[in-house]
Amino acid sequence: MIKVLHPGFQSSYQDLGRLGMAKYAVPQSGVMDRYSANFANLLLQNPADTPLIEVCLAGPKLLFETPALLAVAGLEAQVFINQIPVPLHKVLSVKKGDILEVKQVTKGNHLYIACKGGFLTEKVMGSCSYYEAICPSTQLAKGKLLSIQELDASTYQQRPSHVRIRYAAKKLENSILDVFEGPEFFQLDANQKRQLFHQEFHVSKNIGRMAFQLEETLPNQLDPILTSPVIPGTIQLTPSGQLIALMKDAQTTGGYPRILQLSEFGIAQLAQKKQGSLVKFRQIAYF
Amino acid sequence: MMYKIKRIYFLGEKALVVEFDLPIAPESLQKLLQAKVLLENHYSHQKAEIFHTYTSICIRFLDEKKTSLREEATHLKSLLQTHSNRPLEAINSTNHLIPVCYDEAFAPDLAKLCTSLHLSKNELIERHTKPKYTIYFLGFLAGFLYLGGLDESLYFPRKNTPRLSVPTGSVAIGGQQTGIYPQQSPGGWNIIGNCPLCLFDVRASPPTIYQAGDTLQFVAVSADEHNRLLLSNKNTYTSRKK
C-alpha cells in the first residue's frame, strides 16, 4: 500500500488509454507523453500498457507502507526519497516507510512514476486512465491509498538488473515537431502554408489534456467542415485563426478544419512543452 | 448499389478515413452503416477501432506493428467495390421514446425561443416531439447523439457565449440540430427541456442502447413523471399513453 500524503497538482493513473471506445464518443485518454511513460515501464520490464502515475507540473508526496521498485521518467524533475535527491531513468528501490516526493517538474509538463508489477487500479471501459466523465476514481487525492503488486521479497534484495536503454531527452525536447498534412490542408493558400512552416509558435497558457492552443494566429477564411473524425494529434484551425492541437482527452469529432496531424512522437514532444515555449512545424510525408 | 468514395485520407501514422460521396439523409446513413459493417468484419481479426460521422468512417490501427496505410487504403477500395453490387442487408433499427419535461424549471431558453420563433410553448413542443429523429452517430461527448430531422421552424443559433455548465439530460437546440447532453458539461446550445433517462452507463456493456441507425421520438412528460423516471434510474422509456 502507498498513502498519498499530498497529491500534487494533477496526478492521476494513466495507461495507454481507452481504445475502441471512439464509437461512443469516449476520448482515448491515456498518457500524454507516451515516450516517457513507456520508458518508465520498460525500465521495470513491465508490459507497455501497465498503469502508472502521470504527474503534471508539481508532483505527489507518497508514503510507502510496503517496499517497491520504481522508475521515474520525464525530461527533468526534482525527485526525492526521504529528502535525498534521486535520479530519473533508473530503477529505484524503496523500503517500507520511505517517502517519495516529486517537488517540481522543472523541464516539460509531465513526469511518470511506474512501479514494478504496476499500480493495481479499477479499469472503466478497458482503461484505468483518469477522465472525469468516465473514470473519476483514478485521480490521486490526499489520503488515498494506492495498491501495488506484492513482489517476492528477494526481488527487492537483488541488485535491480539494468535494462540497457538510453533516455532520448534531446529528441523529446526538440522544438521541431513532425507533422503530416491534415485533411483540410489543401484549403490553405501558398502564403498560409509558408507561414505555417516558417513561423515559430509560442505555446499559450491554454494547454491541458484536451488540447494545446498556440499563441500566434493564422488568419484565414476557411469554411467550417461537416462534423468529422478527429484523433489525438489533429491540429485544427478556427475561423479566428487559432491553432488548436487536440490531445489525449479531446473529443472524437470536430467541425473545425483539420490542417495538420502531429506524428505520434510529435504529440509526446508537444505534451512536454511548457506554456511560453516555442515550437516549429516540419512537414513530413506519408509513405 | 455503389459505395461512392469521395476520398481516403490518412490521420497520422496509424489511422485512415474513408469519406463517401453521400448527402446527409437516412438512406445515406443506411449505406454508410452497411459499409461500416463490411469494414468491421474485414478488420475483426485485427486490433482496429472503427467509428463514423455523417459521411466518413475512421479506422485507427491499434496494434504496435507498423501499418502501411497506402496498402490498407488499396485493400479498402477494392473491398468496397467488390461489395458495391451486393443486395442491401438492412441494418437493424430500433425506435426509442425519449421522455422530456419542457417545464420552465428545466427549460431556461424555451421562452426566448418561443418569442424569437413566434411560436407558443405548445406549438414549439408539438414541433419538437412530432418527428422521428434519425441517430446519425455519437460524437462531441460520451453518449451524445447527433440527430437528424429537426423541424426547420425550430432552427436557432447557438449562444454566443456557452454556459459553463449544462445539467445532465438537458435537451437543446443549436443551429439546425437538436440533442441531449448525456452528462454535465459546458454547452452553447439552447436548453428547452430535460430528459431523466440514464443515457450512458460506463459500467454497462454496451454503455448505451442508442445506436447510429436507430430513431427516436421525444415525448413530453410532467415534472412528476420526470422525477419518477429520474429516481428509477432507467435507460429506456415506455409511454403509458396508448
Whole-complex ipTM: 0.93
Measured between beta carbons, the chain B residues lying within 8 angstroms of A126 are: none
Sign, CA torsion A43/A48/A50/A54 = positive
Q: Which residues pair with A27 in a beta bridge?
A: none
**Confidence (pLDDT) at A129:** 98
CB nearest B54 (choices: A25, A48, A227):
A227
User: Do A233 and A264 touch, CB atoms closer than 8 A?
Assistant: yes
Measured between beta carbons, the chain B residues lying within 8 angstroms of A135 are: 202
Measured between beta carbons, the chain B residues lying within 8 angstroms of A270 are: none
**In what helix (H) or strand (E) does residue A269 lie, and over which residues does it extend?**
helix A264-271
Inter-chain Cβ pairs, chain A and chain B, closer than 8 A: 101
Under the banding of pLDDT at 50, 70 and 90, the label for residue A110 is very high
Put simply, whether B93 touches A (Cβ < 8 Å) is no
| Interface probe, candidates B51, B165, B180, chain A, greatest A C-beta count within 10 A | B51
Express each pLDDT in A169-189 by its tens digit: 999 999 999 999 999 999 999
Measured between beta carbons, the chain A residues lying within 8 angstroms of B207 are: 24, 26, 125
**Confidence (pLDDT) at B40:** 93
Cell triple for A148: 501495488
Going residue by residue through chain B, which has 242 residues, state the pLDDT in tens, using 9 for 90 and above: 567 899 999 999 999 999 999 999 999 999 999 999 999 999 998 899 999 999 999 999 998 788 899 999 999 999 998 887 776 677 889 999 999 999 999 999 999 999 999 999 999 999 999 999 999 999 998 999 999 999 999 999 988 888 999 999 999 999 999 999 999 988 899 999 999 999 999 999 999 999 999 999 999 999 999 999 999 988 888 876 54
Residue of A nearest to B56 (CA): A228
Can you give the pTM of this predicted structure?
0.94
Measured between beta carbons, the chain A residues lying within 8 angstroms of B141 are: 25, 133, 251
Q: How many CB atoms lie within 10 A of CB A262?
A: 27
CB nearest B15 (choices: A134, A226, A231):
A231
CB nearest B11 (choices: A134, A231, A253):
A231
Residue of A nearest to B212 (CA): A23
User: Do A157 and A189 touch, CB atoms closer than 8 A?
Assistant: no
d(CA A270, CA A247): 9
| Cross-chain residue pair B139–A25, CB shorter than 8 Å | yes
Between strands A84-85 and A68-81, the pairing is antiparallel
| Cross-chain residue pair B11–A124, CB shorter than 8 Å | no
Residue of B nearest to A261 (CA): B12
Alpha helices in B52-130 (DSSP H): 69-82, 110-117, 121-129
Determine the 3-state secondary structure of B209 from DSSP: coil
Put simply, whether B167 touches A (Cβ < 8 Å) is no
Alpha helices in chain B (DSSP H): 26-42, 69-82, 110-117, 121-129, 223-232
| Cross-chain residue pair A231–B50, CB shorter than 8 Å | no
- 3-state helix vs strand vs coil in chain A, percent to 5: 15, 35, 45
User: Do B110 and B104 touch, CB atoms closer than 8 A?
Assistant: yes
| Cross-chain residue pair A227–B141, CB shorter than 8 Å | no
Express each pLDDT in A6-35 by its tens digit: 999 999 999 999 999 999 999 999 999 999
Mean pLDDT of A215-230: 94
Measured between beta carbons, the chain A residues lying within 8 angstroms of B14 are: 264
Task: Report the gap between the CA of A138 and the closest CA in chain B (Å).
Answer: 15
Percent of chain A with pLDDT over 90: 92
Q: Is residue A158 pLDDT above 70, yes or no?
A: no
**Confidence (pLDDT) at B49:** 96
